[in-house]
Structures are given as C-alpha cells and as structure tokens.
Structure 1
Amino acid sequence: MAYTILAIDTAVENCSVALTVGNDVITRCKMAPREHTLKILPMIDNVLAEANLTLGQLDAVAYGRGPGSFTGVRIGIGIAQGLAFGADLPMVGVSTMAAMAQQTYRRKQVTRVLIAIDAHMNEIYFGGYQRKENGDWDVAFEETVLPPKDLNKKLLTSNVVTVNGEWTIAGTGWLAYPALASQLHLAINNSSVLYPESEDMLILAHHALLRGEAVDAENASPVYLRDNVAWKKLSGRA
C-alpha cells in the first residue's frame, strides 16, 4: 500500500518538508538557523500546492521527533500537531538519527551508519543503525546523549563492535569533535551527511504505518534524550 504522507523536520539547523504521492516525492529543504518558524509553513504550502493536494487528502503527517535542538524539535512537532489535529490525521514520529541513516544509504548505498549530532554543552547525541532487507532499519546502538570522551567505552560494551565490515559516519558531531572517529575501534567510512532531510523520513514513516505505530495528534511526543527538558502536548496542557 502506498501512503500519501507529509513529513516535517525542524530538529536541527536546517528545516525540510517532503510529500510522497504515489511514486512521486516533492521536497523542500533550507538551511534556516533560528528561522524555522518563518520558513516551514510556506514550504508546507508549497509542496501541497505543487501536488495539488489538501491536508484532508493525506494519510498521515510524519514529524522529526528528535533528538535535536529543544526549540527546533518543539517547533516541528507543534506545527505537525496543529496540521494533523485540524485535518483529523494520524501522526508518525521519526527519529532524526534514523532519517540520517536513511539519507546516508540514499547517497552512499551503505547499510551500517553511526550518527553523531553536536548537542552542545560538550555532549553529542549518538546512535547506530543497520539497514534491513525490507528497507527499514534496526537500532544497532540505542540513541543516547553523552560526552564525546565516553563514546568509545560505550561502544565497546555494545553489539556494534561485533558487526563485521565498515560503519559509515554521519552528522555534525564528527566535525565538532574531529578526534572522535579516530578513537573508535571500528573500520570507519566518512559521508557528507550532516543534517536530516524530510524525504528520508517518508520510507521510515511508511514502515511505521505498516506496523500500526501511528498516533492521534494529541498523543504525539518528542524525544529529547536530555532529562532536563519538558514538553506539553497540544491538548491537556494543564
């Protein structure tokens, strides 16, 4: 079954929108630090107009659930919730890191990806993914936030080091901490992927819908990884 899905992501410095209609994918992506609220709604209107669709004709709205900037994740989920709530559409949260793994596969045709995103405050968001035959992804290393100096120790206690072959790295964390990759006891291949793009959320959202993981708008929630932040959903704000 081919779903018609609108995907929205504002979790990091760029913001992006993608729409899948049958075999066609319409995308918009812009670097917009601190301008997400100005850019994202016109981008959504633009892709819907190009497809000649209304929100009511969609099957679901996918949103970048994080991890990422607290403000960026909050903007993305808030806009996605507002659209889905108004059009009575289900929502699907997609991991920022899983979307970057899918983008790395799209660009490099690699199936093992380690993601490190600069989380600032001398920390990184980190996760590992391995692609399955059906195009979905398995979590090889659970998403976490940690100081870069602790990454190698964490990896040594994980299943990542037992997988033969190269791992491809993606994300801004490797640039923010240049020595990070060289400290790992793994065969590493670089990629040019730094930021998530919504078009890569579409296939992940499709698999999530097939698994029955869609939720009502009021139940959509972010993943920040840091414990010192909170989010109040669209309904039930009290």
Structure 2
Amino acid sequence: MPTSSHSAKGVILITGASSGLGAGMAREFAKRGYDLALCARRLDALEALKSELSGTRVELAALDVTDHAAVFQTFRQFREKFGRLDKVIVNAGIGEGAPIGKGGFAKNRATLEVNLIAALAQAEAAMEIFRDQNAGHLVFISSMSAIRGMRGAMTSYATSKAGLAHLAEGLRLEMLHKPINITTLMPGYIQSEMTQGQNTSKTPFIIDGAKGARLLADAVESGRNHVTVPRWPWSVLGAAMKMLPLSLLRRVT
C-alpha cells in the first residue's frame, strides 16, 4: 500500500545518483531536508551514499536508464513508497564520445542513447506521475555545450544535450500556466567522476563538485525555467557563443 508520509519540503527523485553531480545533489538536498528517491546502475555505490545521509528518508533502486520499461517501473515504485513525487531530476548521463568517422560509432551511439533517448523515457515516466498528481517539477541536466555544435569527441555529447534542452522547452511550452514546472539546467565545467582522469588544470572556469552541487540545488529550488550554473561567467559566455562565427568558435571550444 502506498504511504503519504514524506518530508514537508518534498520528495526528490534523482537518476544517476551514485556518483558525480547526482551524488553531490543528493547530499545537498538531504542537508536541506528533502526525502530522496535515488537510482543508478550501481546499488552498492547508492548504499554507500545512503550511509552518509542522515535526518531524511532515502529509498534506493538499481536502475539502468537504457532499460526503458524499468524506468517506468522504478519511478512508479518510488511514488508508491512515498505517496507522491515532487521533483524528478533527469541527471543520468555519460560523456564518452569520439570524432565522427574515426571508428567511434558505438561510443557516440551510446552517448545519444543514454543522454537523450533514456532521458525521454525518464521524462515520460515522470510526466505520467505529475499529470496524475496535477503537480510536479521536472528538471533536466543539460550542458553549456548544448548552445552550439562542438567538434571532435564532444560532437555527440553536445548533440545529445541540445536535444535534451529542446525536449525540456517543448514540455515547458505545453505546461505553461499549469501546475507542472519544467527547468533546464545548463552547467559549465564542474569537477565530477566524468572529469576524472582528465587534466583539468587548463579547463577554464571549472569549479569543484561540492560547489557545483550546491549551485545546482539552488537552481532547482529557484524553480526558474532556464539556469546556467554557475551564472557567472556562463550566462555571458553563452550569449557570446550563440553569435560567434565558426572560425572563432573553433578557437574557444
């Protein structure tokens, strides 16, 4: 039987919560008094994360978001356990890719399947619940790379995140003036498990994971439609990137 017992601040479901920005946001929202529904492929990592969190209710589920039927089942089960879902953060993603035409099709296909097609499944599952509740807040973790096409190994990643941003905007148009809110978050460079093994010493404007998670949580709580994280300098750089000719864009990406 479902239970209606949940935090006064609400219940947040986060996908890809076992590491990186997902785990960071889980820690941050736990501090802020939210109950959490956390899912990822690695249940052992989720268990380790749960052991860090105190003072809030945390439910876990192993989930590979490319198993689309499992996405619907997991989201419904979380709702049954808590009685409702207030926010769903579509966070699960991968950053692998290869230059087009250099033998990396499998990596590029996987990037699109995880970051875009699986995100669609998560959006469908979340919106099914929110429409039934007539309330909810759906959050998509896109990227500043979505603003323009990127070259080399970033091409498929930027494509997936651009598609995600358009998916969010389409939903936002449909939900305008309705009690279901849609937020698109556009992070810049944030240290995470995805950046491990990379030399980030020359990465411009990169911030540490804890600060990134705090700013992302602030952005979610703001309920704003579209937020760059951090706002400075990415809101300015994003506007500039939209206007740069390709010759200049190549130099800065």
The verdict on a shared fold, with TM-score over 0.5 as the criterion, is no
Question: TM-score normalised by the shorter chain: which range applies?
Answer: 0.3 to 0.5
TM-score after normalising by structure 1: 0.38
Q: 1 or 2 for the larger relative contact order (CA 8 Å, sep ≥6)? A: 1
Q: Name whichever structure is richer in helix by fraction.
A: 2
TM-score after normalising by structure 2: 0.36
Q: Name whichever structure is richer in strand by fraction.
A: 1
